[in-house]
Structure formats: C-alpha cells, structure tokens
Amino acid sequence: MEQSARGVSVVVRDAGNASGQSVTLLLDGAAASAVAVGQSVQALATGVGYVLMAAGKAIAFIPNEIGQSLIHQSRYSR
C-alpha cells in the first residue's frame, strides 16, 4: 500500500503471481486512518464485489457490476 497525491494506492497480487493490479482508493476519514503505508490488505470476494480488509476491518468496497447498482451517494437534487 502506497500513498499518492490522489489517495492510497493498493497493489493487489495473486499469491502465485508477481504481477498485480493497482487500485487507487480515495479514502475518507476513518478509512484513511485505518490503513498505513506498507500495510497489506486482504481482498474478500463477495457476490457483489471485493471488500478490502486491513487489520480485520473493511476499508473499501470495490463493486462488480451488480454491486455498482447498490453503491451511490450524492446530495439530493432534482
């Protein structure tokens, strides 16, 4: 896990594969303070996407297509 100007960069690697996928998380408040540079995270597969865990706590959710239909937050506007 590395810090960047945009947020926290997490390189997700398969245990048997040296190459990895980089994901930038724009973490807010508690989530940002829950992770540290160099800390490893676990990706937990669910039916709606991956939950990234650090020290046993969820720090982010990466939704798949189904999960994307469940995740949204914006100010009320019409």
Partner 1 sequence: MHTIRLQFVAIMTALAMSASANAGRSCQEFKPDAVAVQKALQLALRTPEALDASGAQVALVGRVGCDMSKHGLRYSHMAFALRDHPKGCWFLTHMLKLNQCGTGESALYDEGLGNFFLDDVYAFEAIIVTPAPAVQARLLAVAATSLPLALYERSYSLIAHPFVTRHQNSNQWVLEQIAAAFAPIGKVRNRTDAQSWLRVREFVPSDIRIAPFELIGARLFAANVRFNDHTNEEMQAGKYQAVTVESVIRFVERVDGVAQTQVVKLP
CA distance 26 to 21: 16
Count other Cβ atoms within 10 Å, centred on residue 19.
Answer: 7
43 binds partner 1 (CB under 8 A): no
Choice from 3, 24, 39, 40 touching partner 1 (CB under 8 A): 24
69 binds partner 1 (CB under 8 A): yes
Task: Map residue 32 onto helix, strand or coil.
Answer: helix
11 binds partner 1 (CB under 8 A): no
CA distance 29 to 31: 6
8 binds partner 1 (CB under 8 A): no
Choice from 5, 17, 29, 37 touching partner 1 (CB under 8 A): 29
76 binds partner 1 (CB under 8 A): yes
CA distance 23 to 5: 13
Give φ, ψ of 67 to 5 degrees.
-60, -35
The residue ranges that bind partner 1 (CB under 8 A) are 6-7, 22-31, 34, 44, 46-49, 51, 53, 56-63, 66-67, 69-78
